[in-house]
Amino acid sequence: MSGRLRARFELVRLPNTFTAAADVVAGFLYAGGGIGAWASAAVLAVASACLYGGGAALNDVCDATRDAVDRPARPIPSGRIARSTALRLSIALLGLGIAFPAAVSVRAGAIALALVVSIVLYNVVFKTLPVAPAFMGACRALNLLLGMSPAPRLDAGWTLLPVVLMWLYVTSLTFFARREAAGGRRRDLAVGTLGVCGAVSGLTTLAAIGATSDNTYLAPVVALVVLLGIHGFKAAGDPQPTHVQRAVKLFVLCLVAFDASLVWAVRGPVVAAIVASFLLPAIVLARRFRVT
């Protein structure tokens, strides 16, 4: 692999694009999407990967000065890719992230546009402010909603619960990771861990509100809460940068497990395996490319 291509893959956080695509597929399946609309779901999944990659590139463009001190090995401060080139790549990916959904439906295009606005506001305006984690959570919640857009149950009230839980998960994850380069503060890491575990635990309410009659999905939900809690509170107890970064990486990759558990609740384990399959390329690529 050429150095230029590797730098671009690092810039867009290639492993994470699969977790973003998993959100879309999960949203589609959860909201009742069937085989007749799979073409639309596939287009939206590609769009989601573009949106994530564009947002990650924009993040590094905006953080180039800070990264030169805290993370000099990143593509821009290391000189492997020019800041202007990274910005052009970001704009191109974000543009595709709007164009593809707009070709599917007006509703999908509007959600994608709202997502791009949130991405830009997060990186350009709010990133250093206390509300920044909430904006990042909104980006991922809109991504899940994008997957629901072509499916028949979008207007049913209970389909919006996972959007709220996704917002809580990613808001908490972002709060947890805000100072990962320095290791973070124990209180912040503990609060972030509680938020992530609370978001996953919230999936148990799907059975309570009648969204599902198959309670077998509770087993992976409990296992996921335990896994996240162990690693999150371990980092909080010893907030060294390596421990925090390891937990952040796990939290990001486990978004696919969150998505799969969501689909398991309403469509069963076999269909959930479609979403879970996105975890394999994410894990494999995470061994070669950075996640945070």
46 contacts 21 by C-beta, under 8 angstroms:
yes
Residue 68, pLDDT > 60, answer yes
Rounded Cα gap, residues 116 and 98, in angstroms: 8
Max CA distance (Å), the chain: 54
pLDDT in tens, 105-154: 999 999 999 999 999 999 999 988 999 999 999 999 999 999 998 876 66
Least confident stretch, 4-18, 134-148, 202-216: 202-216
How buried is 130 (Cβ within 10 angstroms: 0-12 exposed, 13-18 middle, 19+ buried)?
A: exposed
pTM, whole model, 2 decimals?
0.92
Residue 292, pLDDT > 80, answer no
Residue 182, pLDDT > 80, answer no
Confidence of residue 156 (pLDDT cuts 50, 70, 90): low
In order of 75, 217, 253, the CA distances from 258 in angstroms are 30, 11, 9
38: its two tokens:
């799979």
Residue 215, pLDDT > 70, answer yes
pLDDT in tens, 219-248: 999 999 999 999 999 999 988 888 899 999
Domains of the chain and any CATH numbers: 3-286 (1.10.600)
- Output the pLDDT for position 181: 64
- Output the pLDDT for position 29: 92
Residue 210, pLDDT > 60, answer no
268: its two tokens:
């069963």
pLDDT in tens, 81-90: 999 999 999 9
What is the mean pLDDT of the segment spanning 254-266? 94
What is the mean pLDDT of the segment spanning 49-69? 93
Confidence of residue 157 (pLDDT cuts 50, 70, 90): low
